[in-house]
Chains A and B, each alone.
Chain A
Amino acid sequence: MSMKVIVGKGSCGIAAGAAKISDRLAVGIENSRIDCDVSVAGCIGMCYLEPIVDVIDNKGGKKTYVRIDAKAADEILKSLLGEPNEAEKYEILDEDSKNLRSQRRIALQNCGLIDPENINEYLAAYGYKAIEKCVTSMKPRQVIEEIKTSGLSGRGGAGFPTWFKWEAARNSPGDKKYVICNADEGDPGAFMDRAVLEGDPHALIEGMLIAAYAIGADEGVVYVRAEYPLAINRLETAMAQARETGILGKGIFGSSFSFDLRIKAGAGAFVCGEETALIASLEGERGMPRIKPPFPAQKGFWQKPSNINNVETYANVPWILREGGAAFAAMGTENSKGTKVFALTGKIKKGGLVEIPMGSTIKDVIYGVGGGIREDKTFKAVQMGGPSGGCIPAELIDTMIDYKTLAATGAIMGSGGMVVMDETTCMVDMARFFLDFTCKESCGKCVHCRIGTKRMLEILEHITKGEGKEGDIELLEDLGQQVKGGSLCGLGQTAPNPVLTTIKYFRNEYEDHINHKKCTAHQCKSLLTYEIDAGKCTGCTLCSRKCPTEAISGEVKKSHEIDREKCIQCGKCAEACHFAAVLVD
């Protein structure tokens, strides 16, 4: 076999420079006439090591090189030519490859390994075997039964049993039914759906085919965020190839089952992650939720029975049908089966995508696969479930990853965003940040959500500006409960969670802000005071030149002073000072 160079080209890889690296390698290989293919793969999940290049030699052996820049690419080229080289320097460390092996990959099984733009690579990895098995040897009811055995539940946030939705859609009367994929991944800090769309789009297509067969649908729609152009692109390519191969279309695998798929690009609205809002958006309307019932399984897209799952949920389906529901259910805990993908970000050393069996602990993720906190600072909390979730404090780090135990902390499993925070993160500011998001994204239908989130945000803004009053915390708690109770959809019902959990676990920080006008994490600028350490100041005048309000005075080569009255706490002086002479408190 000929040699092969594979460049990881997910959005994150490309942002880290993968496109330039792959061009450089392709040109180098072309010029030196080596017998070597240059291929692409999606995201392997080790975003902290991007750009990543795999080299498969002519005996099938594989070497992985990481953090590749132009120089490293040239070294790899030399190694391909058999010239003396330093490529070894860029080889992946044992601990990193062990990290990858320690995961259990089902939804991400092909991500980063196969070329997402080539259907043959998916086929070679047992692709479309599951749908073939379904249409040739299983009845739709048996397919639903297999999903029931697996215990698969919705990976988008709510965690609703997948088989139940499928069965409801199957049992709804009607000759026309739809299968819809929610790929409007809106939680800031979650990007596993994008990774599947970019790295293994055929897995989604196959999952949707199986769902369509199970419920009796012949048409599907994938609702993708417009912010994911590469994902849309790769999915389009995959769909075209599936059509050419006869996997999408009429009479699939010689059966009477027909199905086709189209993409609808979303236009940017977080609330469209809610099923009924998503359907409204698909129909060209403002994406506003409506009262359920009727559920989409009864009256969905164009009033027809429709099944909606998210990308990760569908991506699990082919594996379950291939390996059996029992194999999936063998992983996990009593009430959470299988694996879950997490997007590990924030103040973490090894950020990226991680897929682990349910029942692992938060500690396993953060200190195991995640490698701990950046600069070895102190772990403070992890935000799980995005704006609908909550902050889990350091003392609960041994909490098991399971729908029930996570919910008991006040956070949720959600879509799987895990934003890690250290001692420099202010929890009040985090709560304000999430409220700012949900307040902007509230569709405005329910009064409690529309106005309640706004009032909560105002209180939080006052607190972070040092204008907090006694009673603010209680008012936030009260308002939070009312917004939860008075909202129609999940957005409003969960919007107060980040505030309520931070109050629950970090009440002292709120009190510091309100009573002592102090932000111990040094994030709330209005609460900081700046002072110059006369012993360290060299009188270089840099800070006084940077100060926008001329609050700093002093002669050259003599210690400077800050006028508190004039200071607007912008922090420019501390940023500018080369001698750490500006003290911030």
Chain B
Amino acid sequence: MSCCRENKTAWTLQDPAIDPVLLEPTLVKYAEAPGSLITILQRAQELYGYLPVDLIAYIAHRTGIKPAKALGVVTFYTQFRISPVGKNLILLCQGTACHVNGSAAIEDAIREELQVNEGEITPDGLFTYNNVACLGCCSLSPVMMIGNETYGSLTPEKAKKILQKIVQHEKAGGATA
């Protein structure tokens, strides 16, 4: 990241997949409105999947917030990611009810099936595996979410089968499950 006081006019971001123009409508609407940093960051993550540090610097520049402060906000909240995520984001619930009903075994199953640790992306870029606090579907525990789909009453075998099905689907060139 270059110096925060530098007044750049043209910004190029390291990740070529990130086109700052897409964020322009959000910036026009919120950049001047006080207290909108989190809203802008949420929209940016929705657009790009993650928040690379140079993008955070760009948002800071546009909103007049110091880059260090913006990064401080990003790292404070669990929703924000500073590295890219896989095509399918697995959120394994680690709420109390899920813990009591065996989420640890589901965690083992995911690690084993995908050879991935918590917070990591699989080498093929298909999955990112994250633990989350309560998804609020406690009566179906243990639960995980993949994309927008919620899977409940999991067993290790069931979890593995779900993952295998997605892999098959992806290999067949299908859209995200």
Contacts and interface: CB of A to CB of B under 8 A. Distances in A.
Interface of A: 11-12, 14-16, 47-48, 50, 185-191, 194, 226-229, 264-270, 281-287, 302, 343, 345-347, 351-352, 383, 386, 417, 419, 421, 425, 430, 433-434, 437, 441, 443, 575
A370 B38 CA distance: 40
B162 to A, nearest CB: 13
B150 A284 contact: no
Contact of A345 (B36, B41, B96): B96
B140 A189 contact: no
Interface string B117-140: 000000000000000111111111
A346 B42 contact: no
B159 interface: no
B80 interface: yes
Given A267-B38, A343-B138, A188 B78 contact: no
A284 B65 CA distance: 11
A394 to B, nearest CB: 16
A352 B141 CA distance: 11
B32 to A, nearest CB: 13
Interface stretch (B7-15, B20-28, B97-105, B165-173): B97-105
Interface string B28-42: 000000111111011
Nearest to A548: B112
Given A188-B95, A188-B133, A270-B133, A285 B73 contact: yes
Interface string B71-108: 01100111110000000000000111101110000000
Nearest to B74: A267
A12 B140 contact: yes
A188 B139 contact: no
A228 B79 CA distance: 12
B55 interface: no
Contacts of A437: 94, 133
Contacts of A351: 97, 138-139
17 contacts: A11-B137, A12-B152, A14-B150, A47-B139, A226-B79, A265-B39, A265-B42, A267-B38, A268-B79, A286-B73, A302-B34, A345-B100, A346-B101, A386-B96, A421-B100, A430-B100, A433-B96
B133 A417 contact: no
A267 B132 CA distance: 12
Contacts of B138: 47, 189, 191, 343, 345, 351
Given A267-B42, A268-B77, A284-B73, A227 B132 contact: yes
Given A11-B136, A346-B96, 7 more contacts: A12-B137, A15-B150, A191-B134, A227-B134, A267-B38, A421-B100, A437-B94
B143 interface: yes
A341 B152 CA distance: 23
B76 A269 contact: yes
Interface residues of B, number: 38
A5 to B, nearest CB: 23
Contacts of B48: none
Nearest to B108: A570
A284 B62 CA distance: 15
Nearest to B77: A267
A11 B150 contact: yes
Given A15-B143, A283-B34, A227 B73 contact: no
A284 B77 contact: no
A16 B138 CA distance: 12
Contact of A269 (B77, B94, B100, B134): B77
A287 B72 CA distance: 11
B151 interface: yes
Contacts of A190: 134
A14 B150 CA distance: 8
A55 B63 CA distance: 53
A421 B96 CA distance: 10
**Most chain B CB neighbours (cut-off 10 Å) among A189, A194, A264:** A189
A144 B9 CA distance: 55
B62 to A, nearest CB: 14
A289 to B, nearest CB: 13
B134 A16 contact: no
Given A268-B77, A433-B99, A188 B137 contact: no
B59 to A, nearest CB: 11
A264 B36 CA distance: 10
Contacts of B140: 12, 15-16, 47, 50
A419 B141 CA distance: 12
B63 to A, nearest CB: 9
Q: Which 9 A-B pairs have the closest CB atoms?
A: A47-B139, A188-B95, A267-B77, A345-B97, A15-B150, A268-B78, A188-B134, A284-B37, A345-B138
A267 B79 contact: yes
B35 A228 contact: no
B80 A345 contact: no
A15 B156 CA distance: 18
Contacts of B35: 282-284, 302
A192 B73 CA distance: 29
A282 B37 CA distance: 10
A274 to B, nearest CB: 14
Contacts of B100: 345-347, 419, 421, 425, 430
Nearest to A229: B148
Contacts of B76: 269, 286-287, 443
Contacts of A227: 132, 134-136
A130 B135 CA distance: 33
Nearest to A387: B96
A189 B95 contact: yes
Nearest to B37: A284
A419 B97 contact: yes
